[in-house]
Amino acid sequence: MDFSLNEEQQLIVETTRRFVQSEILPLEDHLDPDAGSLDPTDQDRLIAMTKSMGFYGLDIPEEYGGPGLNTTTRALMAIEMSQHRAGLYNPCYGVFGGAGLAQLYEATDDQKERWLYPTLRGEKKGCFALTEPSGGSDPARAIQTRGIKDGGEWVLSGSKLYISGADKADYALIFARTSDDPGRNGVTAFIVDTDTPGFHVRRVVHTLRATHYATELQFDEMRVPEENILGEVNGGFAIANDRLSRQRIPYAAGCIGPAIRAQEMSIDWAKNRETFGSPLAEKQAIQWMVVDNEIDIRHARYCVLEAAQKADSGERFRTEAAMAKLVATEASSRVIDRCIQIHGGIGVTKDLPLERWYRELRIRRVGEGPSEVQRLIMARDILGGSFK
């Protein structure tokens, strides 16, 4: 496959790189190492800049006012946007905006007016509530939240776990079991305002991350109008699955940026740090770690761009997306681990971003489907669907 960048992509990559280096990195020098957000004044200024650059709302389709970038270009930008301390938690601190919940592009006209368009304008925030305490790796069969029809409403009861941003969301896309089918054919998607009686954020779930990102939700006989159903009754898991597949490509790409930056830091450190009378760069052990880093980075980049190009060309890309997610998260984790080792004592301190990247990447090997699930997806495709 040809991974050379066209003129437009080269310009976009260079512009994004300059933006991160000139606007994001200087601000991080004055932030707490675990900060997850910028000062509101700085954030507003940078959002105005990205809007003027035509880079705001990268995932928004062109027909909805977005830049209309293809998957490959968005992946290339994700690699650049994540090359700073908080890059794995909040790439560029949200100043490039977002598309909200991509499933809402398939909503009815009324639903778009109520939730999609306010989200695109930055007036509302949504969250994606799929995972449950009973099991995250097999989300379809794990769903125990129930939806029971009662006249023109549905009554939802149950709970969700590890839901990103629910404590700050205006609405949630909730998946509930609405039939006796124990698998993916009995799940319905509901759009629910978070101020609906019966919707509760039980707690913030603290993790390895520098700042919290997950919540636990509880639904107590929450009444939802039938017009809040997204798509068809019992057709909700197909909506969820589309997001999970497509999101893996930019998710994987964002893991590569910190690995690239860590490798650059380590090369510079090895050339200038002397031990036992000579630079670290002259030690074979260090040389081999740097080489292994380069192999991992190039492998991850290849897998991500292959998946992105297949998605853009309309080919089947499920296997490639799973491989990209698996390779990028695991390879980048190895790179950061070696870079900490190269830096020695300072590598485990908050003076450098390495320790934060190390923690964040450990989570990414679980988020958006753990490595084992990616291997299962690939095995099923490679073996022609005969492997269960």
**For residue 361, which amino acid is it?**
L
* 86 located within any domain: yes
The answer to whether residues 152 and 77 belong to one domain is no
* 213 located within any domain: yes
Looking at 104, 137, 161, the residue that finishes a domain is 104
- Yes or no: say if 361 and 354 are a contact pair by the CB < 8 Å rule: no
- Yes or no: say if 128 and 164 are a contact pair by the CB < 8 Å rule: yes
Q: Can you tell me the distance from the alpha carbon of 331 to that of 136, in angstroms, rounded to the nearest whole number?
A: 23
The answer to whether residues 153 and 92 belong to one domain is no
Q: Can you tell me the distance from the alpha carbon of 72 to that of 312, in angstroms, rounded to the nearest whole number?
A: 7
Q: What is the mean pLDDT of each run of 10 residues along the chain (388 residues)?
A: 89 97 96 93 95 88 86 96 93 78 87 93 90 75 92 96 92 94 88 98 89 89 97 88 79 97 98 95 98 98 97 93 97 98 97 97 91 93 70
- Yes or no: say if 361 and 251 are a contact pair by the CB < 8 Å rule: no
Q: What is the pLDDT of residue 89?
A: 86
* 121 located within any domain: no
The answer to whether residues 190 and 253 belong to one domain is no
The answer to whether residues 185 and 136 belong to one domain is yes
Whole-structure pTM value: 0.91
The answer to whether residues 264 and 372 belong to one domain is yes
The answer to whether residues 290 and 307 belong to one domain is yes
The answer to whether residues 303 and 377 belong to one domain is yes
Q: How many domains does the chain have?
A: 3
Q: Can you tell me the distance from the alpha carbon of 193 to that of 176, in angstroms, rounded to the nearest whole number?
A: 15
For residue 367, what are the domain limits?
238-382
* 242 located within any domain: yes
CATH of the domain at 150: 2.40.110.10
The answer to whether residues 100 and 178 belong to one domain is no
The answer to whether residues 176 and 242 belong to one domain is no
Spell out the alpha helix ranges (H) of 54-88.
71-81
* 189 located within any domain: yes
DSSP state of 383: T
Q: Write 50-53 long-range contacts (CB < 8 A, 24+).
A: 50/19, 50/95, 50/96, 50/97, 53/15, 53/19
The answer to whether residues 252 and 205 belong to one domain is no
Q: What is the pLDDT of residue 59?
A: 83
What phi and psi values does residue 356 have, to the nearest 5 degrees?
Answer: -70, -45
DSSP helix/strand/coil, 200:
strand
Q: What is the pLDDT of residue 387?
A: 47
* 112 located within any domain: no
Choose the catalytic residue: 80, 227, 368, 372: 368
Q: What is the pLDDT of residue 137?
A: 66
The answer to whether residues 166 and 273 belong to one domain is no
* 116 located within any domain: no
Looking at 203, 230, 257, the residue that finishes a domain is 230
Q: What is the pLDDT of residue 242?
A: 66
CATH of the domain at 58: 1.10.540.10
CATH of the domain at 306: 1.20.140.10
Looking at 187, 213, 230, the residue that finishes a domain is 230
Q: Does the active-site annotation cover 368? A: yes
- Residue written as tokens 């039980």? 202
Concatenated DSSP letters for 226-260? GGGEESSTTBHHHHHHHHHHHHHHHHHHHHHHHHH
The answer to whether residues 134 and 226 belong to one domain is yes
* 1 located within any domain: no
Strands 153-164 and 214-225: antiparallel
Buried b (16+ CB within 10 A) or exposed e, 350-367: eebbbbbbbbbbbbbbbb
Q: What is the pLDDT of residue 388?
A: 46
